[in-house]
Structure 1
Amino acid sequence: MQFVTGGAFQGKRQWVKSQIETYTWINGYEDELTFVQPLTSTVVLEGCEHLIRRFVQEEGAEAVFKWQEVVQFYEAWEREDDGRNVIFIGCEIGSGIVPIEAENRLWRDVVGWCYQHTAKKCTIVTTIWSGIAKQLK
């Protein structure tokens, strides 16, 4: 599994698309997340922060556990076949800024905890800033 992160509009989507040819793209900004077996060997899950926001709205801080289930599902799916690959794309949403609203502070915190879990589970972690990729792990 891979995790690609960085600021908004820094080139994450374009970079990922330049790395792969065929894929199932799940847009967390628009699509509902379902646990359906993908049709291609590569799955890209973009908009992780938005999916996590939905989980926070439904479950509060317990959203961390729901996100861990998502990662676990795709980790198991990827392990079923050597040719499979999962790429998570998530925007960095905090940058040290503490939101005034309690709900947004909780969302920021949960995203951070979820990203830590994701980075720990992924074999490759890349950050993208100004269209430049830097592999962290």
Structure 2
Amino acid sequence: MHFITGGAFNGKAKWVREFYSLDDHDSFLWLSAYQTDIDENFLFISQQHLLVVEGVEQLIKSIAKEESDSDAIRTRWRHTISRFREWEASKSGRTVILIGTDITKGIVPMDPFDRLWRDVTGWAYQDIVVVSDRVDLIFYGLANRLK
């Protein structure tokens, strides 16, 4: 698993396309939670070698809208991470690439839901980092490998 994070509009998607030479690949599936709602179950039927999920924070937001508290959200997210790992392990050469915007910095939101979303996104990103083989922070198009 490879986790890429950084600020909004800092070049994360472009960096992933270049790093993985996706213009030269046809065995990948790119799903963007910014463009459409992503059904969690759909993520795991891909037969490609690379599964790119852009907008992880939006997936977490969708879960937060359906669950009642932070523990329930985290439990469901950890289950999703486990399924990503199972998908990778089910066939040699598979990699899940998760791209998530860092929404945890700056002014703490006044709206209770937005504050919950911000908090659980930070915790979810920590959960992702623990299981990821590689973690990169993209800052204005430049990668800083953290793990």
Task: Work out whether the TM-score is over 0.5.
Answer: yes
Which of 85, 90, 107 is residue 117 of structure 2 equivalent to? 107
How many equivalent pairs are there? 137
Please state if 1:19 is matched with 2:25.
no
Q: TM-score, normalised by structure 2?
A: 0.88
Paired residue secondary structure (1:98): coil
Matching residue of 2:46:
38
The alpha carbon displacement at 1:31 in A equals: 3.2
In 2, Cα distance between the equivalents of 1:125 and 1:97? 25
Task: Give the AA of the match of 1:39.
Answer: Q
Aligned to 2:145: 135
Is there any run of 5+ residues in structure 2 with no aligned partner, and where? none
What residue number does 2:135 align with? Answer: 125
CA displacement at 1:97 relative to structure 2: 2.2
Could you list the structure 1 runs, at least 4 aligned residues long, displaced by more than 6 angstroms after superposition.
Answer: none
Once the two structures are superposed, what CA deviation does each residue of 1:42-76 show, in whole Å capped at 9, x if it has no partner? 00011000110111111032111111111111101
Per-residue CA deviation, residues 67-91 of structure 1 (Å, 9 max, x unaligned), is: 1111111101101223111100000
Say which SS state the counterpart of residue 61 (structure 2) adopts. helix
Name the CA distance, whole Å, in 1 between partners of 2:91 and 2:141. Answer: 31
Output the TM-score relative to the length of structure 1: 0.94
Q: In the TM superposition, what whole-angstrom CA distance separates every residue of 1:10-57 from its partner, at most 9, and x where no partner exists? A: 000000011223310111221322424212100001100011011111
Q: Percent of aligned positions with the same letter in both sequences?
A: 38
Contact map agreement 2:11 2:138 (CA 8 A) in 1: yes
2:40–2:80 contact (8 Å) kept in structure 1:
no
Say what the alpha-carbon RMSD is for the aligned residues: 1.2
Which AA in structure 1 matches 2:125?
Y
Counterpart in 2 of 1:9? 9
The whole-number CA distance in structure 1 between the counterparts of 2:61 and 2:52 is 18
Q: Which segments of 5 or more consecutive residues in structure 1 lack a partner in the other structure?
A: none
Q: Are 2:85 and 1:75 equivalent residues in the alignment? A: yes
Give the aligned partner of residue 58 of structure 1: 66
